[in-house]
Structure 1
Amino acid sequence: MKLSQAFAALIIAWFADLGCIQAASFEVKEGNSTCIKAQLSATFSITYNTSTGTRTASVSLPDSATLDEDSSSCGAANSSSWMVALFGPGHTLGLRFSTNGSLYSVANLTLQYNLSDTAIFPDANSSGVITVASPSVGIWATINTTYRCVRPSTFGVGDEAVTFSNMTLQAYMAGNDLSPTESVCTADTASTAAPPTTAGTTTTAAPAPTPPGTPERGTYSVTNSNGTACLLAQMGLQLNVSYFSLSQNKTVRELVNLTPNLTRSSGSCDASSASLVMSQGESTTLNFTFTLNATSSKYHLSGITLLANWSDSAAPFSASNSSLDYLRSTLGRSYMCNAEQTLVVVPTFSVNTFRLQVQPFNVTTTQFATAEECQVDQDQMLIPIIVGAALAGLVLIVLIAYLIGRKRSHAGYQTI
């Protein structure tokens, strides 16, 4: 982000924090049922070109902004839904929501601005509508709860910036009113995470948690609409996460095991992709996405997403990476790796797998197809073979040396 744009975003955030920016309200309905309801303040920092250089425009979402009913929709059950706000001559703010059944999130943030609006973009050397978008921005909440974020939070959208404040919203609503149960954003919880200390008061940090050990191996599956299995998986899973601990008052790195009998699996399958969603209670959701290359008939684990809301964490934890290349195998076969593997997702999150076997495509029975073993397992099998062969060679050399020695010994005592 350019320095001028960053400065403008800082000024915007300051005004938002003081409550100087009014909130706009929106409601997306299908018939008489409400699926999205939102009240929020938003300001935009947009850099544009002029004949003499660049300028940064700072504009607020007015409280008179209206819902674009043609672009907004509730979508089908558990599918994407849209809330699109209209303001000024050709400006829009769009939020696309998605859910995995346990959590909902803003899966896409879109900003559209019209450079022909000379009131906002004076001396712009071009005209027309510009659209910029950003994938998941970390706005998420547990299903059937209200997402609340009072303090300003700034997100990059393309080369621009959007600052939200005083935000209250809920998607995939069960009724027409916001849930009284709230999921609070990171900005709000971080401000209260470390209470001030007074003179003469000491704070004793809680002891670090004991490592959980090797996780139990669980069995997970995904079924098609006709009830037949389309994805099979068996594995022990361990989450390696860095977060700010309230009890220890510092950032810690902790291992968290997934417990199979407390974890339910769901997901979806189609011709070229399959997802396995593992939810442990209402606090932890781990999503594996597999992709198939039809040309090479190879598949791999392409994406991992973790959404977690733990009591000791200062804020809900969210991490995602959709450009991974793990667990690669051939269509019609399963992938197996008994050795421990570490799947790095982002610097603050990785997944450790144990005794893993998975088949996300071409499942014809409830049993795994012939397995392709990981390189680590192959290497571990090769080592005993090499050692055994070396020992056998050594025994053979000793035996040959012994026989030669005996022959020479007998030759020395022959009768003349």
Structure 2
Amino acid sequence: MPSPVNFGRALLPLWPLDPAITYLNHGTVGAVPKAVMAAQAALRDEIERQPARFLLRELTPIGRPDEAPDRALPDGPRSRLRAAAAAIAPWFGVQGNDIVFVDNATAGANAVLASFPLRPGDEVLVTNRTYGAVSRAAAHHAARAGATVRSAHLPFPVASEDELVDALAAALGPRTRLAVLDHVSPETALVMPLARLAALCRGRGVAVLADGAHVPGAMALDIPSLGVDFYTGNLHKWAFSPRSAGLLWAAPEHRASLHPPVISWGAGGGWIAEFDWVGTRDPTPFLCAPDGLKFIDEQLGGREALWARNHAFAREVAEQLTHEWGLAWRTPPSMVASMVTLPLPEAHGRGAGAATQLKNQLLADAAIEAQILAIEDSAGPPGRLYWRFSAQAYNDAQDVERFTKALAAFAGRR
């Protein structure tokens, strides 16, 4: 078993993060550990020693299907991409050939939205919590097919999963053919009851595209057990891959009709052939995905220990601060993973402008990087400010104390 780890700022030397900055926003773009950066640098050096061999012979045998395999290699053609996929697949309850690499979760969502057989009059259902880029992609691809997009209103805050299930049930309509659902909501940070939501959709003949941008590496994930049709997620956030790297899974019945946004030499060769070769690009973020996950198990005490600590820390911070501020917070424990979103005191204002101002002020005046959001909620006037706290291994109570002291100081200046 991995050795116990003393979580907190003592772990900061494992990352290249500036120690002068209190970094409370891991969830936005991740932070790559030094060990993974070293592995990536070594791979890039290897590529540049023999670029054509690595990229056109070793990366994937699919690069030029019109050419015969090069048997001059001593060990024969290899597929490093497939080896990397096979190495990370057990973390997600799948086999290596069940997943393909994509640049990020938004790219995976675009692949599904562009490939899904929408017809004029069909409807794609998103929610008021769907990531903005994915909502725009849904509108774009639906319009090209003559379909429409409708947004379901999901309440926030919530005291039970039932509130979300009921809201989605009310939003599904007779023309809904595809629902885009979050696994972890990007702004509210709620762990959604995805299996229940997917069962509801599929019971009404609606396919489900799950956006798991914040899930791989942050919590346990068994994709097939969720009952979704498509699942995409980022590897460069909580799974510690270099940027940018993501994965895409599709149920077997959908794979033949699923295509990447870039059509290249793999066209017609099946979904793995198409996604593994979309032209010349830097493959090292994908190839280092196993290194990112290995870092969790070897340097952070193992996945179970990391998840238990981060989940407990996130919840403790939310409970403590909302109690101190005299604010209501009722999120069930099952809906908190490695991030948590909690309301800020009214003294900090309302609306997107106030959120941006506070976020920038924290960084400029207090050297704190924190995600401040103006969120539509069900508790009062629109635009209340919230803090989405990312609990990562290198964060501790002292970081949170710096944040709260800065908040108090800023509130006094308004």
- TM-score normalised according to structure 2 size: 0.24
Structure with the higher fraction of residues in helix conformation: 2
Structure with the higher fraction of residues in strand conformation: 1
